[in-house]
Amino acid sequence: MKYTPAKPPIYGESLDSLQSHLAANGEPKFRAKQVMDWLYKKRARNWDEMTNLPKSLREKLADSFDIAPSKRVLAKESADETEKLLLQMDDSSMIETVVIRAPQIGVGQESSRKTICISTQVGCAYGCKFCASGLAGWKRDLSTGEIVSQLIHVCHLEDATTQRASEEIASFDNIVVMGMGEPMANYKNLIPALRILNAPWGLNFGARRITISTSGIVPRILELAQEPEQFRLAVSLHGATNPVREQIMPINRKYPLEQLVPAIKQYGQSKGRMVTLEFILIEEINDTLEQADALIKIALELKAHVNLIPYNTVDGLEWRRPSIARQDTFYNRLKNRGVSTTIRREKGHDIAAACGQLKLKMVNSE
């Protein structure tokens, strides 16, 4: 389904496209830079705040573009400092944006690290068997403006409590593209969005602090490897042999491990950086020692970091999280063989932080 809003969001414009728009409407090009400054540096929330623009121009802009980022429907804060925002788009589709705070012991709130997890699609077509986002299927891609808006929404929320807006820098430290949807299936809107966030005239946010997570769309991984930016890549592996991976991730039939692993290797080599392999631990599906050994082989070959994620149960799905003892055995096996590994002691488990779950709860209770 293709969705065309009445007015496109201003956050979908690049400096070039806004300059062209203004020139076509008889306005000088330099105004585009001023608008970008207001949006990304001073974080104006409406056109009237842009006091160095003539009123006639502000009116023209208001006629052409929507400036309000998506509407917040619900915010849930968990005990471990994860905050989940449910955002409603113009067509009333709902998406999730998550703020994950990692406070540093002994320092003030300002120095806590914040990671923002953004969505790229409404729903997801890839149907991984364990995932809430995949359950309802794919509804539509988010536009470039809708992707950027999620981060501006968070900036507006966070700016109230931090100094960062006055320093004209982003209100968070990392972006992870791990919310609802498969980012690589919306490559055409995602990459321009990340470029707006990265641009000096935009949020000026470093590409190395942006991680894109994919279920393994091989041609897009290879395409991303050719882009000039140093985006980080995370691959949802979740199975270290084809039969196990195929059982939970249908995409493995199209791009099996013998294609996926070399593509990840190429990505790592062309960027000169370590790729992350995400591995959800699901009881008796992929948490066996045979899987650990197959994973060790892949991780060592790729020189990749492995992020183990104990499965977050989803209502209506049969999969279970392994016991801490089983998780530890798996983790230690990797560690002892020299694999760089972390295990995520789940943030936000109590508010269902894993992808798509808050939305699923809302929809089910309607």
**128 in active site:** no
DSSP one-letter string for 106-175 = TS-GGGSEEEEE---EEE-SS--TT-HHHHT-EEEEPPHHHHHHHHHHHHHHHHTTSSTTTTTS-S-SEE
The one of ligand SF4, ligand SAH, none whose footprint includes residue 280, by CB under 5 to 8 A per kind, is: ligand SAH
Q: Active-site residue among 117, 124, 155, 355?
A: 355
Closest distance of CB 212 from ligand SF4, Å: 12
Per-residue contact flags (x/-) with ligand SF4 for residues 288 to 317, judged by CB under 6 A: ------------------------------
Stretch that binds ligand SF4, among 69-77, 99-107, 121-129, 283-291 (CB under 6 A): 121-129
Restricted to residues 223-252, the positions that interact with ligand SF4 (CB under 6 A) are 236
Q: Is 319 in the site for ligand SF4 (CB under 6 A)?
A: no
Please give the sequence-ordered ranges of beta strands (E in DSSP) within the chain, or none if there are none.
71-77, 82-88, 94-102, 113-117, 121-123, 138-141, 174-177, 210-214, 232-236, 276-281, 305-310, 341-343
Closest distance of CB 263 from ligand SAH, Å: 14
For residues 351 and 82, the answer to whether their CB atoms sit within 8 Å is: yes
**124 in active site:** no
Report how far residue 53's alpha carbon sits from residue 35's, in angstroms, rounded to the nearest whole number. 8
Closest among 201, 206, 172, 164 to 37, alpha carbons compared: 201
Q: Is 131 in the site for ligand SF4 (CB under 6 A)?
A: yes
Q: Active-site residue among 13, 27, 83, 96?
A: 96
Q: How many CB atoms lie within 10 A of CB 3?
A: 15
Report how far residue 250's alpha carbon sits from residue 128's, in angstroms, rounded to the nearest whole number. 6
What is the contact surface with ligand SAH in residues (CB under 6 A)?
A: 130-131, 178, 182, 213-215, 236, 238, 278, 280, 309, 311-312, 314, 354-355
Size of the site for ligand SF4 (CB under 6 A): 12
Q: Which residue is nearest to ligand SF4 (CB)?
A: 134
Member of 128, 148, 210, 299 binding ligand SF4 (CB under 6 A): 128
For residues 46 and 58, the answer to whether their CB atoms sit within 8 Å is: no
| Residue ranges in contact with ligand SF4 by CB under 6 A | 124, 126-128, 131, 133-134, 181-182, 215, 236, 355
* Residues marked as catalytic: 96, 355
